[in-house]
Chain A
């Protein structure tokens, strides 16, 4: 079980990382673009780059100050927990004097229309790199807009064609689709693992039950039953049938799941239901202890469904066609046989007819002919005594 949990955890981690990876790539690209347009502005004319198509590198910058600025831009790539990198890259870095001094100084020198243009450029770039499904994004994912930001936008007189509620740049449609696929894949794997586990457990249980049934059938015919007799014999067969049906269903389900096909619209898988076989009722068996001395009857309140060591003496089998009639025979363990031989007046005589003289050294009490009994109110009344022999 522990192993299965580790596998599931790894799958989830993989899926998470995948999503994370997708997001960070976009951000890096955006940083590169910002770096490029800002350094471009800092470079002398003629040494500029096409930021859409070219990537700026350190080697291309000769000026030390510009290089320092470049390096500060590169540190943006290591920033963590940036929920709204559009705002971050278009506004925050230019206004944060403490964290990004050089970028801030760069922005100060170009304060006004020039800076606004650079910002607009950056925003446009970032927006254009997200998918058209931004329209479905909910408002909770809107980036935080500082009051300063709104004020500066208003003060500059620029009308933002952007929506006021600036949205978090979203993953493109292709990436989002990949993530859903990944999640679905993980889900399917998890279910498959659980089903396999259940199957293995059920299989094991069935094997154990079979082994126990085998053991029991070998020993059941002997009247001398060990005192550690298991008390589940009555319902074992029906339990086994039920378990086998469950296993078949699970096997079918697993086979369907093992090669999943992803549809746009999910259809529920077909499940085959087996019609159970016609139920053949088994004879009802119960056990009784000491009969009433006066009338040879047995109280219903003392009947037990299973054989109880140190207690049970007689086995009753109810007539299939008439549940108020039953046959009974002597059926007990070594202790019960000994008690009966020592005190037949209590345990044997009221309901049995011995066919031979009582032998104090006898080891068995055999029922040569079962007796019959009838259920009347709260008793099983003996109609004919059982015939027994001491051996």
Chain B
């Protein structure tokens, strides 16, 4: 049988040729597709665009016939691509960088073609017209005004049409093969993974179903599509179906804006306006599971936190689950609000790893002290921890979280941050950022060490590789506590920079301080530099802050790192503290009482450390690490320019402390200055050599601050330093600042003006640092010691008076007590410095004690291998002040190293056993007792029962009398009072002395009750010093009244005293009782009388100079001692030269 040539089945009874009819639907459907619908290549050979529309329509119909919503046939592909086009239209707002809409106007554009002068255009126009007319009914061409085409702007050609609206199927694709970089959720458009409608973004589904529901005559116009939608509807969840069923046109119109193309109007399909998704970041925030879980973030759109590695948790990203193969960018330089979400293109803020982690991590040369600073949960794979790392966290992290969050754990107990060092030296940092629903995104970055110590490696962020940078620096915070109320926080932060290798010596550091609350920067009050790297091989900067902070960002030329102190949060306690400060000429001491307990010396122990450094000196690894690179200056400078950690008798440093202050040499006092910044109390003075750039100021008490306003800044700084220590002591020991009191001691010989200046400084600083309610109280130094003896040693001034003698460096204060109250007070500038100093500006080159003992002490130090003390001695010698050298000699035997090593150096013992110089000390003592006896007699007071001694200078009496009970001096004293008062005086006199004479002034001050603190002005009495017992102010006498007669009278009295003194030898053998060599006594007597008048005149002149012309004031100290000051100095020199000539 012959074969009938046809595509479809049919009758075979045909001969030759026969008339056939047009292929109808059945015939078409009977045509077998040799490849079946599984062809993976689209049918693209039909050139007409309208045929493409037909193909899409057929695809919809075929799917309906197959009743398969899901599948891999060519029809599924065409429908999926068609829906992709629809979804692009729907998301056109966020895709405007990639897509634009091109209009083809049926009337205008077709006419242009038809009337074109180009015959080919005309032909095209006619062809299009033909199809439009012919297929008007089949494809609704008669109803269209415009077609809207999608142009992909990032394609290779000028126009890259990917699809458009279709009057047959809503949308159609062009089937052009284009690489389109558009993705909705996990679905890439036009890819090989076909996505039916029900699996798409529900908003888009609502949109399509909305068109179906609200477009008039949707079904006859788009039957295939309608049937397809029906199939999808059955695949939806019950909840989704309910939403769609209840969906109203108002909902549709409100939820989706009309899609417009600028002035060209609304995009429509058969006059039904097409709509678009309203870009609402609220949708993303509501839907996405990656929204950062931060209560601190108050932004309207909380950013997403996106993974950069495998993330297999099933979390909705924007409209779909995050694909585990997706990776967010490692860094994004755009501002947060301008970022577009990866794989989505919506403009919405998101965060990635480089927003939280720095490219560099700073490594310290010592382990971080993890008791005081958060170390990021640092651990090592093996071995000791010998280095530390600053936290490589960007400060932007704290826009979302607080410091406590970083120190905490995730919902499943994992640490928020972990830093782990590997055996190769690299470091792995893991940071977990909480997101919604108690989940978190984990970021990990490995930081690699440099190839050698002299290099800085560049990080490679494209591969998420950081770099380690090692720096030598130290950071100390003072105080290491934080008050709840922020306005009461005062800080000093010391930063030492010892980056001196070639590649980093030009590093410049800065510190920024931030608060938790709003991650705001705390502006420092001042930043002061002391040491400079170019000169001192280390630089030091001190930050002054008057607000609290929670973390610090350390910055250098390359890197940033975070330091997070674990502050002690302090609430004020209830204990009552009272402090007494003895601001002495040579030494300063502080005692305190807590809740009326026993007075104690001010100490800082391990239990109440006030400062903390990044390193822990108790950790042997720290010492090892620092020693290995010779970075010891980082520690040493803290003691020299800032403060030592501990201050107590068991440590190297304690009170009483020299009254001195340290600053850099060229400090400009015309600018604002601060304690523990520009100035500090150098507790290591006289223990270790001072630095070349240091400038030590002594004699603070008597410096020129009355006339030079810059000098008062020095006093300011000194007091501020002390008050800082006091304040922290109270806070760390459960005290209440509001109940804290301060007593400060002043010498009775100090002028009222000077006292008032000091008072104003104390008051001002006390208000700032302690409280405003209880002003500091001042007490005369002279009055205080008695109350210590009274309360602790049972000394009472009832039947007979008690004399309290406070011998300092420059001044001796004497107070006579009757009925346990101060009766009279006198003060004179005849104290320890009169014995050891350079009287009236003489040189140490003619100071007998220096000439005698300088070489000896030097030799003792050298032979006992104490080169550091030798160094100190050399420095003091170069300065040439005898009293400083002598003070140093006395201090050696109290030096901790000397005591611990049992080195037999004791200047006081040397003096005690020197039979030649002893006369000086005896004379010193006798002259004071003599004067007091005369004064008391002139005042018609009884002979005293007790004489108490206080003040550092009172140790002289122990040199005079080597016995521990002072029996020699006791007897001498009795004799003196008998001689002065007369033979009928039988009162037994006891001498009282404390082992810590400096401290008892403060102790006594703490024991005084209110009514015992009298205005000393009314007690002041001066015995003029002539042979007549002239008492001032009973007999007013000013400096202007001093004439030759008075001077001669003083000299006569002085000479009488000298004669009388040496006559005492007959009553109490100087040799037997005091071990004094009597060989040259007569010569000494004559020597003392030499130049008496000159000495008196010099003394008077100095006094007058001090008074600066104010000579009408009553004479405020006796003239008796002036000749003696010069006399004693001369005597000591003569003793030494006499000895030397003998030895020669």
A and B pair up: yes
Which of B406-414, B714-722, B863-871 participates in binding chain A? B863-871
A334 to chain B, nearest CB (A): 10
Chain B positions within 8 Å of A302 at CB level: 624, 627-629
A290 to B691, CA, bound (A): 19
Q: Mark A267-306, 1 if CB is under 8 A from B, else 0.
A: 0000000000000000000000111100000010110000
Q: Within 8 Å of chain B (Cβ to Cβ): is A336?
A: yes
A336 to B628, CA, bound (A): 13
Q: Within 8 Å of chain B (Cβ to Cβ): is A173?
A: no
A348 to chain B, nearest CB (A): 7
Name the prevailing secondary structure of the B interface residues.
helix
Given contact pairs A358-B871, A358-B874, A339 touches B689 in the complex (Cβ within 8 A):
no
A313 to B627, CA, bound (A): 11
Cβ contact of A311, chosen from B629, B688, B870, cutoff 8 A: B629
Chain A positions within 8 Å of B501 at CB level: 309-310
B900 to chain A, nearest CB (A): 12
B879 to chain A, nearest CB (A): 13
Segment 94-137 of A: residues with Cβ below 8 Å from B: none
Which of B630-638, B1015-1023, B1084-1092 participates in binding chain A? B630-638
Closest B residue by C-beta to A346:
B632
Q: Is the CB of A310 within 8 A of B630?
A: yes
A347 to B874, CA, bound (A): 19
Given contact pairs A299-B624, A349-B868, A358-B870, A313 touches B630 in the complex (Cβ within 8 A):
yes
Q: Within 8 Å of chain A (Cβ to Cβ): is B271?
A: no
Q: Is the CB of B630 within 8 A of A336?
A: yes
A56 to B585, CA, bound (A): 134
Given contact pairs A344-B867, A345-B688, A348-B867, A339 touches B633 in the complex (Cβ within 8 A):
yes
Q: How many residues of A contact B (CB 8 A)?
A: 33
A361 to B689, CA, bound (A): 13
Q: Is the CB of B692 within 8 A of A346?
A: no
Q: Within 8 Å of chain A (Cβ to Cβ): is B905?
A: no
Chain A positions within 8 Å of B629 at CB level: 289, 302, 310-311
A344 to B632, CA, bound (A): 12
A302 to B628, CA, bound (A): 5
Chain A positions within 8 Å of B633 at CB level: 339, 343
Q: Mark A321-342, 1 if CB is under 8 A from B, else 0.
A: 0000000000000011011001
Q: Within 8 Å of chain B (Cβ to Cβ): is A360?
A: yes
A173 to B147, CA, bound (A): 83
Q: Is the CB of B630 within 8 A of A360?
A: no
Chain B positions within 8 Å of A218 at CB level: none
A391 to B870, CA, bound (A): 16
Name the prevailing secondary structure of the A interface residues.
loop
Q: Is the CB of B867 within 8 A of A349?
A: yes
A290 to B871, CA, bound (A): 20
Q: Within 8 Å of chain A (Cβ to Cβ): is B623?
A: yes
Given contact pairs A335-B537, A344-B871, A292 touches B688 in the complex (Cβ within 8 A):
no
Q: Is the CB of A354 within 8 A of B689?
A: no
Q: Within 8 Å of chain A (Cβ to Cβ): is B668?
A: no
Q: Within 8 Å of chain B (Cβ to Cβ): is A80?
A: no
Q: Within 8 Å of chain A (Cβ to Cβ): is B264?
A: no
Given contact pairs A289-B628, A299-B624, A343-B633, A227 touches B502 in the complex (Cβ within 8 A):
yes
Q: Is the CB of A339 within 8 A of B630?
A: yes
Interface size class of B (residues with CB under 8 A): 20 to 34
A311 to B627, CA, bound (A): 9
Q: Within 8 Å of chain B (Cβ to Cβ): is A357?
A: yes
Chain A positions within 8 Å of B870 at CB level: 354, 357-358
Chain A positions within 8 Å of B500 at CB level: 310, 335
Chain A positions within 8 Å of B636 at CB level: 343, 346
Chain A positions within 8 Å of B537 at CB level: 335, 338-339
Q: Is the CB of B502 within 8 A of A360?
A: no
Q: Within 8 Å of chain B (Cβ to Cβ): is A92?
A: no
Chain B positions within 8 Å of A228 at CB level: 502
Segment 342-391 of A: residues with Cβ below 8 Å from B: 342-349, 353-354, 357-360
Q: Within 8 Å of chain A (Cβ to Cβ): is B875?
A: yes
A338 to B862, CA, bound (A): 22
A349 to B858, CA, bound (A): 17
Q: Within 8 Å of chain A (Cβ to Cβ): is B609?
A: no
Q: Is the CB of B626 within 8 A of A290?
A: yes
Segment 773-818 of B: residues with Cβ below 8 Å from A: none
A335 to B502, CA, bound (A): 13
Chain A positions within 8 Å of B867 at CB level: 344, 348-349, 353-354, 357-358
A90 to chain B, nearest CB (A): 52
A358 to chain B, nearest CB (A): 4
Chain A positions within 8 Å of B626 at CB level: 290
Chain A positions within 8 Å of B871 at CB level: 344, 357-358, 360
A175 to chain B, nearest CB (A): 58
Chain A positions within 8 Å of B624 at CB level: 299, 301-302
Q: Is the CB of A290 within 8 A of B632?
A: yes
B217 to chain A, nearest CB (A): 71
Cβ contact of B692, chosen from A299, A309, A360, cutoff 8 A: A360
Given contact pairs A289-B627, A292-B623, A338-B537, A353 touches B865 in the complex (Cβ within 8 A):
yes
Chain A positions within 8 Å of B874 at CB level: 357-359
A357 to B858, CA, bound (A): 9
B380 to chain A, nearest CB (A): 15
Chain B positions within 8 Å of A339 at CB level: 537, 630, 633
B1110 to chain A, nearest CB (A): 43
Closest B residue by C-beta to A293:
B623
Q: Mark B553-585, 1 if CB is under 8 A from A, else 0.
A: 000000000000000000000000000000000
B923 to chain A, nearest CB (A): 35
Chain A positions within 8 Å of B453 at CB level: 308
B509 to chain A, nearest CB (A): 18
A343 to B627, CA, bound (A): 14
A296 to chain B, nearest CB (A): 12
Closest A residue by C-beta to B386:
A301
Segment 676-696 of B: residues with Cβ below 8 Å from A: 688-689, 691-692
Chain A positions within 8 Å of B865 at CB level: 353
A301 to B623, CA, bound (A): 12
Chain B positions within 8 Å of A347 at CB level: 630, 632
A376 to B602, CA, bound (A): 43
Chain B positions within 8 Å of A292 at CB level: 623, 627
A359 to B692, CA, bound (A): 12
B474 to chain A, nearest CB (A): 15
A353 to B867, CA, bound (A): 8
Segment 868-893 of B: residues with Cβ below 8 Å from A: 868, 870-871, 874-875
B423 to chain A, nearest CB (A): 16
Q: Is the CB of A345 within 8 A of B691?
A: no
A10 to B627, CA, bound (A): 64
A20 to chain B, nearest CB (A): 47
A182 to B865, CA, bound (A): 85
Cβ contact of A290, chosen from B502, B627, B862, cutoff 8 A: B627
Q: Is the CB of B632 within 8 A of A343?
A: yes
Segment 403-461 of B: residues with Cβ below 8 Å from A: 453
Chain B positions within 8 Å of A348 at CB level: 867
B95 to chain A, nearest CB (A): 54
A390 to chain B, nearest CB (A): 10
17 CB < 8 A contacts A-B: A290-B626, A290-B627, A302-B624, A302-B627, A302-B628, A308-B453, A310-B500, A338-B537, A339-B633, A343-B636, A344-B871, A348-B867, A349-B868, A357-B871, A360-B689, A360-B692, A360-B875
A311-B630, A336-B630 known; 16 new pairs, CB 8 Å cut-off, are: A227-B502, A289-B630, A299-B624, A301-B628, A302-B627, A310-B629, A335-B500, A342-B689, A342-B691, A343-B688, A345-B689, A349-B867, A354-B870, A358-B867, A358-B871, A360-B871
Taking Cβ atoms with an 8 Å cutoff, the residues of B that contact A are 453, 500-502, 537, 623-624, 626-630, 632-633, 636, 688-689, 691-692, 858, 862, 865, 867-868, 870-871, 874-875
Top 6 closest pairs, chain A to chain B, by CB: A302-B628, A290-B627, A358-B871, A289-B630, A345-B868, A354-B867
